[in-house]
């Protein structure tokens, strides 16, 4: 269980806080969805949860264990927005093993299997994959590290309708084994697979019921 308690982020250079005191709880094998417009603080929240930025105040816990940024770097996996832009391996195998040369072929196979890419040759170049396959590979790159919390920043951005649907199906399946936190400005496709949901606006997080959002099919901007 992930607990975020009164977390804030207010760099000295900014006149107002980027994240206002926020509280969030996410149970294992649940999919949490944070919906907010551009500039609302979604990526900043994920950077903090991935241990890449230090919160100004507040605390993070996994069960009773308080988490430092170092713990978070180890325990959390973040799939950046447009992750394919950050590929640097020459092959799928190199991409998966970057930073983890010790990982054996079983772990490589399992990670690819989980995202439905196990049939591809490990020697394929990441840039030769389709857009949807590249997103799946970026997920496998995090899953191979077996993260306690898997986070995705705008996972459906830039994908066409059919690729989005495939990716959403995959994310819905992954929550059987993993705990996911997804942030997006465009919740439409993702609402049906969300177990819990928040809106964020100007760094202020509010819990909402995903079923209510789905029933109303309201534009996310109208909700915040």
Ligand X SMILES: Nc1ncnc2c1ncn2[C@@H]1O[C@H](COP(=O)(O)OP(=O)(O)O)[C@@H](O)[C@H]1O
Residue 40 is a binding residue for Mg ion (CB under 5 A): no
Judged by beta carbon distances under 5 to 8 A according to partner kind, the member of ligand X, Mg ion, none in contact with residue 108 is none
115 — phi, psi (to 5°)?
A: -105, 10
* Close Cβ partners of 91 (under 8 Å, ≥ 6 residues apart): 122, 123, 124, 125, 126
Instruction: Report the DSSP pairing between strands 196-201 and 31-35.
Output: parallel
For residue 32, the surrounding DSSP H or E stretch is strand 31-35
Residue 44 is a binding residue for Mg ion (CB under 5 A): no
Task: Report the 10 Å Cβ neighbour count for 135.
Answer: 27
Q: What is the CA radius of gyration of the chain?
A: 17
Of the CA atoms within 13 Å of residue 84, those in its CB half-sphere come to 18
Rounded CA gap, 123 and 40, in Å? 40
Please, which residue, 44 or 142, has the CB nearer to ligand X?
44
Please, which residue, 13 or 176, has the CB nearer to ligand X?
13
Rounded CA gap, 52 and 47, in Å? 5
CB of 224 vs ligand X, minimal distance in Å? 11
CB of 43 vs ligand X, minimal distance in Å? 3
Please, which residue, 1 or 157, has the CB nearer to ligand X?
157
Binding mask 30-69 for ligand X (x = CB under 6 A): ------x-xxxxxxx-------------------------
CB of 73 vs ligand X, minimal distance in Å? 18
> Number of helices (H) and strands (E), helices first, in the chain?
8, 10
Options 14, 16, 121, 162; binder of ligand X; rule CB under 6 A: 14
Residue 43 is a binding residue for Mg ion (CB under 5 A): yes
Instruction: Report the DSSP pairing between strands 196-201 and 204-208.
Output: antiparallel
Rounded CA gap, 115 and 112, in Å? 5
CB of 40 vs Mg ion, minimal distance in Å? 8
Q: Report how many residues bind ligand X under the rule CB under 6 A.
A: 12
Judged by beta carbon distances under 5 to 8 A according to partner kind, the member of Mg ion, ligand X, none in contact with residue 121 is none
Residue 16 is a binding residue for ligand X (CB under 6 A): no
Which stretch, 6-14, 59-67, 91-99, 169-177, contacts ligand X (CB under 6 A)? 6-14
> Can you give the binding site for Mg ion, defined by CB under 5 A?
42-43
**Which positions lie near ligand X, rule CB under 6 A?**
11, 13-14, 18, 36, 38-44
């Amino acid at each position: 269980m992930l607990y975020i308690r009164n977390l804030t982020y207010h760099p000295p250079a900014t006149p107002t806080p980027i994240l206002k005191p926020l509280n969030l709880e996410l149970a294992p094998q649940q999919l949490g969805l944070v919906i907010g417009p551009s500039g609302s603080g979604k990526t900043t929240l994920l950077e903090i949860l991935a241990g890449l930025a230090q919160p100004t105040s507040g605390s993070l816990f996994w069960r009773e264990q308080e988490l430092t940024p170092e713990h978070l770097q180890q325990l959390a996996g973040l799939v950046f927005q447009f992750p394919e832009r950050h590929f640097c391996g020459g092959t799928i195998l190199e991409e998966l093993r970057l930073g983890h040369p010790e990982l054996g072929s079983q772990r490589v196979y399992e990670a690819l299997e989980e995202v439905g890419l196990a049939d591809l040759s490990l020697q394929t170049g990441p840039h030769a994959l389709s857009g949807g396959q590249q997103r799946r590979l970026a997920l496998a790159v995090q899953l191979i590290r077996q993260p306690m919390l898997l986070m995705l920043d705008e996972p459906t951005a830039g994908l066409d309708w059919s690729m989005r649907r495939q990716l959403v199906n995959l994310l819905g399946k992954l929550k059987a084994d993993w705990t996911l936190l997804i942030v997006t400005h465009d919740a439409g496709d993702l609402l049906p697979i969300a177990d819990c949901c928040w809106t964020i606006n100007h760094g202020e997080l509010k819990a909402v019921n995903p079923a209510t959002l789905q029933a109303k099919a309201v534009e996310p901007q109208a909700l915040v």
